[in-house]
Amino acid sequence: MARILLTSGPTRQYIDPVRYLTNASSGRMGCSLAEAALAAGHEVVIVSGPVSITYPSQATVHWVDTTDEMLAAAREQFEHCEGLIGVAAPCDYRPEFVLGQKIAKTGQPLVLQLIETPDVVATLGAEKKDRWVVGFALETEDRRFRALTKLEKKSCDLMILNGPEAMNSEGNHVEVLAKDGSVVATLKGSKPEVAVQIMQIVGQRLIQT
Ligand code: C5P
């Protein structure tokens, strides 16, 4: 039995007190992985951005808004976990300045200067020591090459490659890639079905018994 950390859902980057940038991640894959991990007898800690789905009640959930908050919470929780599954879709950019008051229309174009946010999986991957890290990559071209490049860059032990159809949908079709570049498995089905199979592979290859 392991204690597993999951990052899940999107993040929000505020522009002013009422407007933000985000993406279409639903948190459904994270929820399915949490259910599969619990069913396999593991303890589950989730750091999640805002989602409307309900995570299993046996999981401990830490709610965050921004990518920086997700990194801070995940870093703290990772200390007490054996591995991380990074299924969240954190915003890669944030406005350089968050305005204190609601932006009023001026009749002129509004230019937003965006700067990069930290990468949660890459940061925890670099700090993982004897823990394991599973990343997700959503790619539209040169899929396998790009996913394997991310696997290496983010110090992952496995990378789950999926396509844009995974966003906000019921089903998923993924390839599980290993550090040596091999395709460990090709999985297709509903998100709960794919999650169970991913957890079986994680259990066999990464979790120490
Ligand atoms: O966005 P990208 O395709 O690089 O995401 C690949 C992996 O990196 C995913 O596991 C995702 O959760 C993670 N990621 C992250 N922090 C970011 C961007 C991505 O943890 N700011």
**Alpha carbon of residue 7 to chain centroid:** 5
* pLDDT tens, residue order, the chain (209 aa): 999 999 999 999 999 999 999 998 899 999 999 999 999 999 999 999 999 999 999 999 999 999 999 999 999 999 999 999 999 999 999 999 999 999 999 999 999 999 999 999 999 999 999 999 999 999 999 999 999 999 999 999 999 999 777 766 778 889 999 999 999 999 999 999 999 999 999 999 999 87
Question: What domains sit in the chain, N to C, each tagged with a CATH number?
Answer: 3-94+112-205 (3.40.50.10300)
pTM assigned to the model: 0.95
Check residue 122 and give its pLDDT.
Answer: 98
Give the number of other Cβ atoms within 10 Å of residue 108's Cβ.
6
How many angstroms separate the CA atoms of 204 and 209, rounded? 9
Q: Which atom of ligand 1 is nearest to the CA of 156?
A: 10
Distance between Cα 154 and ligand 1 center (Å): 9
Prediction ipTM score: 0.92
Q: Which of 33, 92, 121 is the best mutation target for the ligand 1 pocket, counting ligand atoms within 8 Å of the beta carbon and taking the most?
A: 121
Ligand 1 atom closest to the Cα of residue 154 is: 8
The contacts of residue 108 (CB under 8 Å, 6+ apart) are none
| Dist CA 122 CA 90 (whole Å) | 12
Instruction: Say how far apart CA 51 and CA 37 lie, in whole Å.
Output: 20
